[in-house]
Amino acid sequence: MRPAHQPHEQLRTEAPSQKDHTDKYVSTFVSGSNTVDMSFSNPVLSKSADYFKVGIDELTLNLNNLSLLEFVEGEVLFRIIRRGYLQLDNTNPEQQAALTGYKLPDGPAANLEQWRDAVEFKVDRSYLTIMEVISRCTQIATSLNTFVRDGLVNGGAAATDLYISPVAAGAQYDAFEIALTTNGQLRFSGNKVFWANFVIEFPTEKYRQILFNDPDRQYIAMHPGSGATIDAPYILNGNTGEYEPTQMIPVWDENVNPVDYIRAAEYVGKGNVLNMLDRRVTLEVGTSLPIKNSPMVDHNVEAPDFVLGRYMFHQPYTLIADQTGQGITLQIPGLGTRQMQGPKDRVCYHHLRPQQRIQNIRVRLWARVRTYDETTQTWGMKAIECPVEGGDFWHLKLHFVEKNKNTM
């Protein structure tokens, strides 16, 4: 038998009880500027700001103007100049004029600076990755090799000679190369023709510190025969006030076989350019919101810190080399658009000070970069306005959270 049906009360559905939702998100998209001013018709927060804390929920950006090398008018990382002939005649005005400055001679009439510009690393544009720096170094080496193959035809012992070891035009070989070692150092390699005729100059002290850990090493010069380093390829003549090439010891005044091995002599820098060359340290987000001060110690000096978010800029490179250490592949992360803060990242919240009716918020991007003081020969840091220009863009989402009464 079936059990008798027992009537029951009709089920009732009720809306679940909900907590008051006081979280607030504010998003902005910005192009071509590092600053955004947001104005709202109604207050962003329902209460005074000190009832809330704020953090960055999302930050995505695409920056093409924040260079790893600092833009300074006329600043040069390095250049290739002429070694100069040994038998300098101080009484010969033609020879003095030919050697003044030791830069390469004029190019074609339509472009006199062609060769000098081709072998000079000017920091005249934005360099975003170390591979761009290595690529420019390779271009300079290629230009120098082209210059040599065009012929160092005015070498010899005449008064106006520019080169110690002349080379006939049309030679098919490379005299010079710049490469990256497996330790991240720059290696400058040359055959006897190169080291007999050329010197590499580093006119800027901070780059000497980075590459050589020696602020006084201005030149790379090597003896083409012995391969020994020549610390001072030029010396000041007290009588004329002009710098003259020093004599190579042992004396080197002979022509050489231009097909000599390209790495007959090489100089390897001490500094790891993967770590040291990039001046960018952090990307920082500043705001007009009344954030409470968080103390910061900047190079042993206490300073107020009202930054809403701070993100380390550098990402480690991956360097892969074959067994010989010659075939080097450098993998670079973070090309293109970068997400500095995403949904999987921990949000750092900041407490706010009292302020009623927040209807205007300014947000600005800053960058903290490394600096070098030539007077004290020390490194430091400074915050600069992040260069956001042209097609650069960024997106930011702020998260306001009401504080628990027990934490106020």
284, 255: one domain = no
- Single out the residue in 223, 245, 274 at which a domain terminates: 274
110, 256: one domain = yes
Which range of 179-188, 239-248, 332-341 scores highest in mean pLDDT? It is 179-188
Burial 164-192 (b: 16+ CB within 10 A, else e): bbbbeeebebbbbbbbbbeebbbebbbbb
166, 156 Cβ separation under 8 angstroms: yes
221, 83 Cβ separation under 8 angstroms: yes
DSSP letter, residue 163 = B
CA neighbours closer than 13 Å in the CB half-sphere of residue 121:
26
pLDDT at 182: 86
pLDDT over 90 (residue 373)? yes
Mean pLDDT of 141-150: 92
pLDDT at 169: 77
150, 133: one domain = yes
Residue 10 lies in a domain: no
Q: Which CA distances in Å does 79 have to 183, 220, 359, 383? A: 23, 11, 54, 30
Sequence-ordered list of residues with C-beta below 8 angstroms from that of 350, at least 6 positions apart, any chain:
53, 54, 55, 291, 292, 294, 308
- Domain span at residue 185? 76-274
pLDDT over 70 (residue 345)? yes
Residue 352 lies in a domain: yes
- Single out the residue in 274, 303, 320 at which a domain terminates: 274
168, 113: one domain = yes
Confidence of residue 323 (pLDDT cuts 50, 70, 90): low
| Dist CA 137 CA 176 (whole Å) | 11
| Dist CA 275 CA 170 (whole Å) | 41
211, 269 Cβ separation under 8 angstroms: yes
More confident: 153 or 292: 292
pLDDT over 90 (residue 96)? no
| Dist CA 11 CA 5 (whole Å) | 17
Q: What are φ and ψ of residue 112, in 5° steps?
A: -65, -30
Q: Contacts from 313-319 at CB under 8 Å and sequence distance 24+?
A: 313/280, 313/281, 313/282, 313/283, 313/367, 314/278, 314/280, 314/281, 317/130, 317/274, 319/180, 319/182, 319/184, 319/274
Confidence of residue 10 (pLDDT cuts 50, 70, 90): low
Sequence-ordered list of residues with C-beta below 8 angstroms from that of 292, at least 6 positions apart, any chain:
350, 351, 352, 353
Secondary structure of residue 107 in the 3-state scheme: coil
Residue among 368, 328, 369 at smallest CA distance from 134: 328
Q: Domain count of the chain? A: 2
Which range of 71-75, 148-152, 160-164, 308-312 scores highest in mean pLDDT? It is 308-312
394, 294: one domain = yes
Beta pairing partners, 400: 24, 54
Q: What are φ and ψ of residue 93, in 5° steps?
A: -65, -30
Phi and psi based region of residue 93 (left: phi greater than 0; alpha: psi -120 to 50; beta: remaining)? alpha
Sequence-ordered list of residues with C-beta below 8 angstroms from that of 251, at least 6 positions apart, any chain:
86
Q: How many other CB atoms are found less than 10 A from the CB of residue 36?
A: 16
Beta pairing partners, 58: 397
pLDDT over 90 (residue 107)? no
Residue 2 lies in a domain: no
68, 127 Cβ separation under 8 angstroms: yes
245, 288: one domain = no
pLDDT at 275: 86
pLDDT at 154: 62
pLDDT at 245: 78
| Dist CA 267 CA 137 (whole Å) | 15
Residue that has been written with the tokens 């504010």 in this structure: 26
Confidence of residue 144 (pLDDT cuts 50, 70, 90): very high
61, 81: one domain = no
Structure confidence by residue, pLDDT tens digits, 287-298 = 999 999 888 898
Enter the tokens of residue 283. 């990307």
Structure confidence by residue, pLDDT tens digits, 208-255 = 999 999 999 999 999 988 889 999 888 877 776 667 778 777 766 665
246, 109: one domain = yes
138, 104: one domain = yes
- Single out the residue in 274, 299, 318 at which a domain terminates: 274
CA neighbours closer than 13 Å in the CB half-sphere of residue 200:
28
pLDDT at 241: 66
Q: Which of 3-17, 22-36, 129-143 has the lowest mean pLDDT?
A: 3-17
Confidence of residue 136 (pLDDT cuts 50, 70, 90): very high
180, 38: one domain = no
Over the chain, what is the mean pLDDT?
84
pLDDT over 70 (residue 17)? no
pLDDT at 407: 54
CATH number at residue 286: 2.60.120.1100
80, 189: one domain = yes
Structure confidence by residue, pLDDT tens digits, 20-60 = 667 899 999 999 999 999 999 999 998 999 999 999 999 99
pLDDT at 253: 61
pLDDT over 60 (residue 92)? no
